[in-house]
Amino acid sequence: MAAQRLDVAEPFGAGPEAVQAAIAHLGYVQIDTINVIERCHHHILYSRIAAYRRSDLAHLQSTEKSVFEYWTHALSYVPTADMPFFIPAMKAYRENPSAWFGSVTKAEVSAMTRRLKINGPLTIRDIDDDELVDKTHPWASRKPSKRVLQLMFYQGLVAIAAREGMVKTYDLMARHFGWEKPPRPATERQRTAYLLDRALRSQGVVSLDSVCHLNAPAKAAVRELIEARVKRRLLKPVTIAGAEKVQHWAPPEVLDRPAVAPANRVHILSPFDPLIIQRKRLKLFFGYDHVFEAYVPAAKRRYGYFALPVLVDDRVVAAIDLKTDRQNGKLLVQKWTWLEEVGAEVREAIEAELERFERFQLEG
């Protein structure tokens, strides 16, 4: 809880500096397209910054340029200071584009580069001379230029200079950041240390799976580094009841940290929140088995289309399926599932947080 900064009120303060500090501490903040309530990147930051403003994130991305978008385990906001750790992946996409982008030619990339140089930053909506094609999947675009821009994004040739909802403004990477030359890429050893340090900072107690979430190729190197740090007494093995066969580790100072007294502190969390996204870890530590049911047939849903776990101090006590009715200015409770019995004080605290959450939904 302390590692996730969910154990105290306003751990990062307020303003753009708080948003920068939160992203730096967590390592990344996931972006997602679903907006039955506020999109998850804003929701995750709101959960840790009481006075969070969406404009603060936009300021960091487009004005200060101290955060950028790239792929972690999903599309995410990442501190620009961490760019060197992502440049090797960009280089790999330039040398060997995946099959997903196999139809994009070097000539198309060159043409788009010239277009950006001449016309400046653009969105896919600014491109009106494409010959439209059939979609290959529901999230695809009929404009071939979109796939060209997506490949150039993964290759590190363009950056997402601004975002309006899910509409992205692309600019040449070097021009966006004002680089004369790009940062030097991190070495493999540096990237391994980055993965481990990021997890230790944001998770406190880690396992190999939690460090390498959806990144199995990194496991061998991360295990080797963990073993080296254990020998140097920088990490200590941890045994968790119910998961004795799964190795965990933590820095000694984390294990000596005193527990925070219960305060009926309520967080209504996104299903993509860093505390929630690793489902096995969530179940192990909190005894809660979250199911993301947006793609499950309605008749088979247990918690609801977009259920949000309700955290009270260090317990997940409920899951609430919410939907924002922006036209009528209301936050609708589609389904409420209690996971444990709670008293009147906890119910009042949850209702108060729901009212605050509703204001957040409607103010933007």
List the 248-250 sheet strands across, edge first: 206-207, 248-250, 236-238
Q: What pLDDT does 285 receive?
A: 95
- Model confidence at 76, pLDDT cuts 50, 70, 90, reads very high
Least confident of 75-84, 178-187, 254-263, 328-337: 254-263
pLDDT tens digit sequence for 299-357: 999 999 999 999 999 999 999 999 999 999 999 999 999 999 999 999 999 999 999 99
pLDDT tens digit sequence for 217-257: 999 999 999 999 999 999 999 999 999 999 999 999 999 98
Residues 13-38: what's their mean pLDDT?
A: 96
pLDDT tens digit sequence for 127-163: 987 666 665 655 555 678 999 999 999 999 999 999 9
Going 44 to 122 to 70 to 177, the CA torsion angle's sign is negative
pLDDT tens digit sequence for 28-38: 999 988 889 99
CA 45/CA 271 separation, integer angstroms: 13
- Give percent of the chain above pLDDT 90: 86
Q: What pLDDT does 353 receive?
A: 97
Cβ neighbours for 156, distance < 8 A, ≥ 6 positions apart: 86, 87, 90, 91, 93, 94, 173, 182
Is this model's pTM higher than 0.85 or not?
A: yes
Q: What pLDDT does 99 receive?
A: 64
Q: What pLDDT does 140 receive?
A: 56
pLDDT surpasses 90 at 190 = yes
Cβ neighbours for 80, distance < 8 A, ≥ 6 positions apart: 65, 66, 67, 68, 177
Q: What pLDDT does 98 receive?
A: 73
CA 213/CA 257 separation, integer angstroms: 26
pLDDT surpasses 90 at 259 = no
pLDDT tens digit sequence for 268-297: 999 999 999 999 999 999 999 999 999 999
Q: What Å distances lie between residue 330 and 37, 72, 337, 359, CA to CA?
A: 11, 34, 20, 9
Q: What pLDDT does 129 receive?
A: 75
Tokens describing residue 348: 């009042």
Q: What pLDDT does 137 receive?
A: 56
Residues 101-129: what's their mean pLDDT?
A: 91
